[in-house]
Amino acid sequence: MPKSKAAEPGLSKDRAPAGTAKDAVVPMQGDLFSMDSPLRGGVHGELSLMAYPFFALTKQAWMKPLAYSTGEISIEVQPGHKGVANIYDKEVILYIASLMAAKIENGEPVSQNFQFTANDFFRVTGATPSSNAYTRLYEALERLQSTQIKTDIETGGEGEAGFFSWVETARLQYTKTRTGERRLKAVNVRLCDWLFRAILKDRSVMQYAPSYFQAEPDQPSAL
């Protein structure tokens, strides 16, 4: 999934790109002042996600379970109907973790619910806003919600015996034009309890180098 430098979309007209289905969601800049974006600080990630293989390293649908065990730590990842969440989908989690870390640093209240614009996500990750980019974001959210994780890694002084997903809910909020076309306004995500506790209570976050988003793994694996 090669990326190029983000550009501001020129989408002020109420017209979908040529060939776009009438009921498709097409890009629109949202109301930034009521959302958690734009992110201006550094990109942060939770330490366990950096240290252990939670994500598939392939663009293709990875339909096999992932398993990892050291004797002290065990991880089991079960694919959803679109496969295991992959390293590109992980960028969404990093972005949300960064929003949360920035709020904590600024002394702002935080919750598990985040609302942001797709355009700001593309800016931070270095993607060019396009119909393909919006489709990839939608599919990433779908895999993050459907992938099931089981681990004995505790966060915030608590453990979980069952399975959880990276995001509990993921929704694309849109408005309609006079012609009935859907315009994307915001992305709404509820972060899972496990990751929320790790960032809020354990403060187990580390800053990523900006070059991380230009990395291009070329073999099926897990990370």
SS3 per residue for 122-179 = HHHHCCCCCHHHHHHHHHHHHHHHHCEEEECCCECCECCCCCECCEEEEEEEEEECCC
Give CA–CA dist 105/158, Å, rounded: 23
Contact predicate 190/22, CB 8 Å:
no
User: What is the pTM assigned to this prediction?
Assistant: 0.77
Q: How many CB atoms lie within 10 A of CB 111?
A: 11
- Verify cis geometry, omega within 30 degrees of 0, for the bond prior to 217: no
Contact predicate 217/90, CB 8 Å:
no
Contact predicate 29/37, CB 8 Å:
no
* Residue 87 structure tokens: 């390293």
Length of the chain: 223
- pLDDT number for residue 125: 86
- pLDDT tens for the chain, 223 residues: list them: 444 433 333 333 333 444 444 455 555 544 434 577 767 766 767 788 888 999 998 888 999 999 999 988 999 999 999 999 999 999 999 999 989 988 998 899 999 999 999 999 998 888 898 889 999 999 999 999 999 999 999 999 988 889 999 999 999 998 888 888 888 889 999 999 999 999 999 887 767 665 666 544 444 344 4
What is the sign, positive or negative, of the torsion defined by CA atoms of 22, 190, 72, 206? positive
- Residue 138 CA to chain centroid, in angstroms? 10
Phi first, then psi: what are they for 86, rounded to 5°?
-105, 180
- pLDDT number for residue 67: 96
For residue 155, list its beta bridge partners: 158
